[in-house]
Amino acid sequence: MASVTEFPAAPAERPALAPIRVGTRRSDLARIQTDIVVRALMEAFPDRQCEVHAMATMGDKNQVTALHDFGAKSLWTHELEAALAQGQLDLIVHSLKDMPTTLPPNMILGAITTRHDARDALVLSKHLMSALESATAAPSIPKDLLTAPSILASLPEGSVIGTSSVRRSAQLARLHPHLRFESVRGNIGTRLSKLDDKDGPYVAIILASAGLERMNWSARISRYLTSRGEEDREGRLFGSDESVKERREASGPPFRGVLHAVGQGALGIEIRGDDEAMQGMLAKVACVRSTLAGLAERSLMRMLEGGCSVPIGVETEWVHSSTTSRETLAMRAIVASLDGKQVAEVELTEDVGNNQEAELFGKKVAQALVENGAGPILDAIIKEREAGEASRTAEI
């Protein structure tokens, strides 16, 4: 009689896979952005679960000090990166603009997801909007302010614009020297509350449009700011009926508007460099075009050693090439002195097809900026910052 081999019974359920531990900051915007990544991961890997771990960073804990007065480059990332290094997290979701361009040892940028609107946004105070609508605004405020080609140019002398970014204030000081700029810190809700305080100094503030839109506050946006000037949501300049082609051809230096921050509008996912499994998973949620643009921008900043305290602005745009069958990457970039009186600006276009080419393109743009005078501007800013740090240390 033939023997019968008995196989062990199959388990009733497959062993559960370990959840993906996702780190983020505690702010409402950070949680919304993390949810975007979590949904993408769970859609790509429906058999996996995610655990979100939120914590406060140095930048969250100090809501008073102006950003350019901080010495730390990892203002929004240090505490999260420590947990990642210790194996308490599998990945961190960052606003790409807040990620230092040089990461800690064994940490890498694992993916950049599809970029949202990268433009800056001009937000007017509610009391100014109400006064305009009821025709009770001060005589110095133009009645047609909301339809003027430039709201910023039309504001009265000495109007205060709130921004915590020296990049924004430097570029705006160059274009609109009649305005004043004061720091405004806090999460988006806090900044809007400070703006709308009737006893506060601000007539408007500048914020990243991506954050406003993700928080469902896009209705507060009066204008979108770009290298060309003030635009509507669709990218049309106010007071202009030019075509898309004409807009593109008119976008080069000297720039007539504000270039956004490196990485603005995009989400970066940081992981351990030796976590090959996570690298493979993130390849399913990364956006190639956003990644190439983001890497080029970060390479530019790394070469110039910029951060929240250095006025470096960029714009990247995929444009159709008449000589190749694929789109090329155009990058516009600017370095400005803190008072806006000195600038170096450039626009270059390159055929970028992989990460290495993106990195090289960023270096090429950085070199062009240096050749156009960025070096002395950056040296002066660094010396001024070091002198301020020395003064504060002496006072302690």
The 10s digit of each residue's pLDDT in 77-126 is 888 999 999 999 999 999 999 899 999 999 999 999 999 999 999 999 99
Domain membership flag for residue 260: no
Query: In angstroms, rounded to a whole number, what is the distance separating the alpha carbons of residues 151 and 144?
Result: 9
Whether residue 364 sits in one domain with residue 297: yes
Q: Which string of b and e fits 257-288 if b means at least 16 CB within 10 Å?
A: bbbbbbbbbbbbbbbbeebeebeebbeebbbe
Q: Is 167 a catalytic residue?
A: yes
Whether residue 3 sits in one domain with residue 13: yes
Q: Is 385 a catalytic residue?
A: no
Whether residue 223 sits in one domain with residue 281: no
Residue 37's closest CA among 85, 93, 100?
93
Residue tagged active-site, from 25, 97, 174, 332: 97
Domain membership flag for residue 310: yes
Q: Is 185 a catalytic residue?
A: yes
Domain membership flag for residue 294: yes
Whether residue 67 sits in one domain with residue 110: yes
Residue tagged active-site, from 167, 174, 214, 272: 167
Residue tagged active-site, from 25, 50, 90, 98: 98
Q: Give tens-digit pLDDT for 137-174.
A: 889 999 999 999 999 999 999 999 999 899 999 999 99
Q: Is 35 a catalytic residue?
A: no
Tokens of 233: 């949501």
Residue 194, phi then psi, degrees to nearest 5:
-65, -40
Q: Which residues touch 281 (CB under 8 Å, ≥6 apart)?
A: 20, 41, 44, 45
Strand 180-182 versus strand 160-162 pairing type: parallel
Domain membership flag for residue 20: yes
Domain count, the chain: 3
- CATH no. for residue 361? 3.30.160.40
Residue 111's closest CA among 28, 188, 22?
22
Whether residue 362 sits in one domain with residue 280: no
- Domain residues for 370? 287-396
- CATH no. for residue 23? 3.40.190.10
Whether residue 224 sits in one domain with residue 311: no
Query: In angstroms, rounded to a whole number, what is the distance separating the alpha carbons of residues 341 and 157?
Result: 18
Q: Is 256 a catalytic residue?
A: no
Residue 165, phi then psi, degrees to nearest 5:
-110, 125
Comparison of pLDDT for 246 and 195, the residue scoring more:
195
Q: Give tens-digit pLDDT for 182-226.
A: 999 899 999 999 999 999 999 999 999 999 999 999 999 999 999
Say if residue 278's pLDDT is above 90: yes
Question: If you average pLDDT over residues 5-23, what whole number do you get?
Answer: 67
Q: Is 339 a catalytic residue?
A: no
Residue tagged active-site, from 185, 236, 289, 363: 185
Whether residue 292 sits in one domain with residue 280: no
Query: In angstroms, rounded to a whole number, what is the distance separating the alpha carbons of residues 380 and 350?
Result: 30
Whether residue 307 sits in one domain with residue 242: no
Query: In angstroms, rounded to a whole number, what is the distance separating the alpha carbons of residues 304 and 367?
Result: 9
Domain membership flag for residue 295: yes
Residue tagged active-site, from 168, 174, 214, 228: 168
Residue tagged active-site, from 25, 115, 174, 191: 191
Cα torsion 152, 158, 164, 169: sign: positive
Whether residue 57 sits in one domain with residue 13: yes
Whether residue 317 sits in one domain with residue 242: no
Q: Give tens-digit pLDDT for 296-334.
A: 999 999 999 755 567 899 999 999 877 777 899 999 999
Cα end-to-end span (Å), the chain = 93
Q: Is 50 a catalytic residue?
A: no
Tokens of 322: 């008449």
